[in-house]
Amino acid sequence: MTTSYAVQSPPRAVSVGRRRKIGWLYQSLLVAALALLAYVAIGNLQDNLAARGLRIGFDFLRQEAGFEIAFHLIPYSSSDTYWCVFLIGITNTLLVTVLAIIFSTILGFAVGIAQLSVNWTLSRSARIYVELVRNLPQLLHILIWYNVALRALPAPKQAHAIGDVAYLSNRGIFLPAVTTDRPGLLALAILLAMAAALALFRSLTVYSERTGRQVSAWLPALAILALLPVAVVGLTGTQIDLSFPQLRGFNFVGGWVLVPELTALVLAMAIYNAAFIAELVRASIESVNKGQREAAAAIGFGWWQTLRFIVIPQAIRVLLPPLSNQYLNILKGSSLAVAIGYPDLVGVFTGISINQTGRAIEIVAMTMAVYLAISLLIGALINLFNHMTRIIER
C-alpha cells in the first residue's frame, strides 16, 4: 500500500509594490476622512457665526484697546491698539519664562549635585527640599510668594534699603536702571556681543579638545561680551545714563521696578521647577558608570575636575531630552500668572481682549500659535545644544 502526500505550495508573499500601494491607500483614506471632518467643523462654525451675526477677521487688532497695563517692557498707553496688547503679552510671557528657566536651571543643578554629596546634612537637606517642593501645586507656590512673602514687605516710606541704591517694598523691588537715547541699538549690540562671545567660546573649546592645548576660553569670551557694546556706544555717540530710584511722595520714581507679581511669579516658578530639574540632574549623573569616577580619582582628578571633565559631559546626553520637557512646562506654567494679576499673554489678550472684542476664535488661535512657536523654538535650541555638545567617536 502506497501513501501519497500532497505537496502544498507556500503562500505567495505580497510583493513590496503591492504593500506600498495598500499603505498609500490607507493613508489617502485617513487624509480624506480628516479633510471631511475639518470641512464639516468649519462649515458648522461658519453657520453658527452667521446665525449670531458674527464673522472671523483680524481687523480688531487695529482698534484702540482702551485699558491700561500695569507692567510692560515696550511703550504702551490705553490709546494703543490690540496689536500692542498682543506684543506686550508676548514680551511679558517671554520675560517670565526666560528668567524662570535661568534661575531654575542654576538652582536645580546645585540641588541635584548636592543630593549626591558625601556630606550627610547637605544631601538630606537637598532631598527634603525636592520632596517638599515638588509635591505641592505650583499655583500654591505662586500664591504663597505673592500673598505671604512679598505683600508682607513694608510700604515705600519704610522700604528696606540695600546700599541706598535698591529698595524692597510691597510696591515692588526698585533697582538702578540704565537709560539710553538709543535702546534698540544698545539691545542689538548686546545680542550681537552674546552671539560672538558664544561662538568664540565654542571655537576655542573645540580647538583645545582637538589639539590638547590648554586654552582659556572664558576670558576672550567675556572680553568680547563687555567690549563690543562699549565700542558700539563709543562709535555711535549713544548717551548712557544711570537712573537711581528715589522716594517721591508715596512711591519711588526713577530706576527700574520689579512689580510684586513678576517677582512672585519668577521666584515661585524657579523654586518649583528646580526641584524637578534637580531630580533629572541627579539621575543623569548616576547614569554615568561609577568606575569612571574611580578611574578619574586614580589618575589624580579632584572632585570638581571629575565632575566637569568626566561626569557632566556624559550626563548631559541623558539630561537634555527630559530637561527640554521641563522647560516647556515652565512656559506653559507661566499662564498661571493670571491668578495674581501679572499681565502675561493669557491675562491681557486671552482674558481682557476677548471680553472687550468678543473675537474668541481669533484670539485663542493667535495665543495657541504663540505658545506653539515658543515651544518649537525651545525644542530647536535644546536640539542645537545637544548637537554642539555631542561626543564624537573617532
> H/E element holding 240?
strand 240-243
Ranges 170-174, 228-232, 301-305, 369-373, most confident: 369-373
Dihedral sign for Cα 347, 349, 350, 351, please: positive
Mean pLDDT of the chain: 86
Length of the chain as a residue count = 394
Q: What's the confidence (pLDDT) of residue 29?
A: 92
Domain residue spans of the chain:
31-55, 82-167+260-389, 177-243
10 pLDDT tier (thresholds 50, 70, 90): low
Pick the CATH number of 82-167+260-389 from 1.10.3720.10, 3.40.50.2000, 1.10.1040.10, 3.10.310.30: 1.10.3720.10
Q: Residue 386 corresponds to which cell in the numbers above?
A: 545637544
276 pLDDT tier (thresholds 50, 70, 90): very high
Q: What is the pLDDT of residues 303-331, one digit of tens each?
A: 778 887 788 888 888 888 899 999 999 99
Q: What is the pLDDT of residues 181-207, one digit of tens each?
A: 777 788 888 889 888 888 888 888 778
Lowest pLDDT segment from 3-7, 209-213, 232-236: 3-7
With cell 526641584, the residue in question is: 275
Contact 85, 106 (CB under 8 A): no
DSSP single-letter state for residue 70: S
Report the pLDDT averaged over residues 343-366: 89
